[in-house]
Amino acid sequence: MSQTQSTAYCHRRMRAALDAVRNGIPVVLMDDGDRENEADLIVAAERLTEQTMAQLIRDGSGIVCLCMTDEDLRRLRLPPMVEKNESAHGTAFTVTIEARHGVTTGVSASDRLTTIQAAIHPDARPEDLVRPGHVFPLRAHPGGVLARRGHTEGAVCLSRLAGLRPAGVLCELMNPDGTMMRGAQVAAYADAHGLPVLTIDDLVACTSAPVPVC
């Protein structure tokens, strides 16, 4: 495949993914094989529904993360979870959160959705959230996928490219037996649910391309 054909193919995949993002449909995002080698379900935070949240919890690890920019997390006064991040890939967790109002235990799909909606509201204030909680915010690297090839940066990148608030929700795909989905398992899941599949490589290529993606 020539460079021109490769770029065109990348853009077609991106357009399909961005259409899904704008419509609140999850995108399956795979990272590098020599990194986590995992696939995450990614949804734009402002398009998330209770039904989709339930899908993330049911088909994923249950650790639902809200990926946001450093600017927004600073505004909400959400500090890093630990002073010294010793995570293998530098995953930038902040303290966990819960909506101050409108939730019960904070665990249900409805409660976690309420928490995310509270956090991403344009007028959200630190006092709108309590700490700790059942939603895991992640701080995206300011340089995006070009600086850090992670699902966190991919989630924010997809939401931003779709013309939405730069905030995405993710959860790692998991098999019923508790192992992580990989390879053919990911492809089969995406096909069964009619979901677009992207890789971090796709995002890097399209973000770097001289021709606009959308």
Examine residue 42 and state whether it is found in any structural domain, yes or no.
yes
Examine residue 183 and state whether it is found in any structural domain, yes or no.
yes
Helix (H, G, I), strand (E, B) or coil at 61: coil
Is 83 assigned to a binding site? no
Whether residue 5 is predicted with pLDDT greater than 70 in this model: the reply is: no
Examine residue 59 and state whether it is found in any structural domain, yes or no.
yes
97-114 residue pLDDT tens: 999 999 999 999 999 999
Whether residue 75 is predicted with pLDDT greater than 60 in this model: the reply is: yes
Examine residue 214 and state whether it is found in any structural domain, yes or no.
no
Q: What percent of the chain has pLDDT over 90?
A: 81
Is 40 assigned to a binding site? yes
**Stated pTM of the model:** 0.91
What integer pLDDT is reported at residue 89 of this predicted model?
A: 84
Produce one character per residue of 134-147: b if its CB has 16 or more CB atoms within 10 Å, e if not.
bbbbbbbbeebbee
Examine residue 25 and state whether it is found in any structural domain, yes or no.
yes
Helix (H, G, I), strand (E, B) or coil at 134: strand
Predicted confidence band of residue 88 (pLDDT cuts 50, 70, 90): confident
Is 36 assigned to a binding site? yes
Calculate mean pLDDT across residues 183-210. Answer: 88
13-60 residue pLDDT tens: 899 999 999 999 999 999 866 555 689 999 999 999 999 999 999 999
Calculate mean pLDDT across residues 183-209. Answer: 90
Residue 49 is part of a domain; what is its CATH number? Answer: 3.90.870.10
What integer pLDDT is reported at residue 212 of this predicted model?
A: 42
Q: What percent of the chain has pLDDT over 70?
A: 89
Examine residue 82 and state whether it is found in any structural domain, yes or no.
yes
What integer pLDDT is reported at residue 102 of this predicted model?
A: 98
Examine residue 213 and state whether it is found in any structural domain, yes or no.
no
What integer pLDDT is reported at residue 206 of this predicted model?
A: 76
Residues making up the chain, counted from first to last: 214
Which of residues 39 and 208 earns the better pLDDT score?
A: 39
Is 22 assigned to a binding site? no
Is 15 assigned to a binding site? no
How far apart CA 96 and CA 74 sit, in angstroms, is 14
Average of per-residue pLDDT values in the chain: 91
Quote the domain boundaries for residue 147.
3-207
Examine residue 20 and state whether it is found in any structural domain, yes or no.
yes
What integer pLDDT is reported at residue 211 of this predicted model?
A: 44
Number of domains in the chain: 1
How far apart CA 22 and CA 20 sit, in angstroms, is 5
Is 149 assigned to a binding site? yes
